[in-house]
Amino acid sequence: MNLIKVYKNTFLALMLSLVLSACATQKKVDDSQMQGDVYTGTDTVKYLASGVPDRVFFATNESILTTKSRDTLRKQAAWLRKNSSINVVVEGHADERGTREYNLALGERRANAVKDYLMTYGISSSRISVISYGKERPVDSGSDPLAWSKNRRSVTVKAN
In sequence order, what DSSP letters do the residues of 20-75 get, joined into one string?
Answer: HHHHHTS----GGGEETTEE--STT--EEETTEESEEE--TT--PPPHHHHHHHHH
Q: What is the pLDDT of residue 42?
A: 85
pTM over cut 0.75:
yes
Does 7 score more than 90 pLDDT?
Answer: no
How large a percentage of the chain has pLDDT more than 70? 80
Q: What's the pLDDT tens digit per position in 70-96?
A: 999 999 999 999 999 999 999 999 999
Which domains occur in the chain, in start order? Answer: 29-158 (3.30.1330.60)
Q: Which residues contact 41 (CB under 8 A, 6 or more apart)?
A: 30, 32, 33, 150
- Find the radius of gyration of the CA atoms of the chain: 23
Q: How far apart are CA 159 and CA 16, in angstroms?
A: 57
Question: How far apart are the C-alpha atoms of 152 and 138, rounded to whole Å?
Answer: 9
CB 32 within 8 A of CB 127: no
CA angle 51–52–55, rounded 5-degree value: 135
